[in-house]
Amino acid sequence: MDVVIAIREIIPTDNFEIAAIIRSCLAEFGANKPGTVYFDPTTDHLFELFREPGSIYFIAAEENRLLGGGGIFPSQGLPAGTCELVKLYLLPDSRGMGLGAALMKRCISAAREMGYKSIYLESMPELNKAVGLYEQFGFTHLDAPLGNTGHFGCDIWMMKSL
């Protein structure tokens, strides 16, 4: 029997499980430090956070098991027409099968549909495999952060024109 993985929008009952996935991924790579989403209280309330106009969060799920997620958000202080790619994380056993790329494509497509002209993201060296994925999708490195994300623990900043 083939495994069917669905990518769908977040629902309220996903909050606890997706927060646990995000935090476990950050801990796995030693990136569970202050100034990251690990300590951000909104990580526990992603459904509510992504009710913000101009945002969307996708969940990758296999039947009733969450595998990860990712979204876009109109973070404060970003240039006009720019959203932020946020909280893109996958469980270890869900990596390497193209699921990260599938989530990225959904986020980029949603950003275009919402009228954004560019996507910004923040990361850190501990998440170098993710940075490689971002580069494959055409994100280029910036010399300094943009906007007011509050994630001072990130020191990699990237941007992609849509």
pLDDT tens for each residue of 79-109 = 999 999 999 999 999 998 899 999 999 999 9
How many Å apart are CA 130 and CA 37, to the nearest integer? 15
CATH code, 125 = 3.40.630.30
* pLDDT given for residue 64 in this prediction: 84
Render pLDDT for 41-50 as a digit per residue (tens, 0 to 9). Answer: 899 999 999 9
H and E: helices and strands count for the chain: 4, 7
**Which residue segment(s) compose the domain that 31 sits in?**
5-161
Phi, psi of 30 (to 5 degrees): 70, 25
Is residue 156 pLDDT above 80, yes or no? yes
Q: Which of 62, 85, 77, 69 is nearest to 134 (CA)?
A: 85
* CB 137, CB 108: distance < 8 Å: yes
Say if strands 118-123 and 82-90 run parallel, antiparallel, or are unpaired: parallel
Report whether pLDDT(154) > 90.
no
List the one residue out of 67, 58, 125 whose CA is nearest residue 96: 67
Label residues 1-19 b or e (16+ Cβ within 10 Å = b): eeeebebeebeeebbeebb
Run of H or E including 20 = helix 15-28
What ranges make up the beta strands (E) of 45-127?
56-62, 65-73, 82-90, 118-123
Q: Coil, strand, or helix at residue 16? A: helix
The pLDDT, as a whole number, for residue 125 is 87
pTM of the predicted model over 0.85 = yes
Count how many domains the chain has.
1
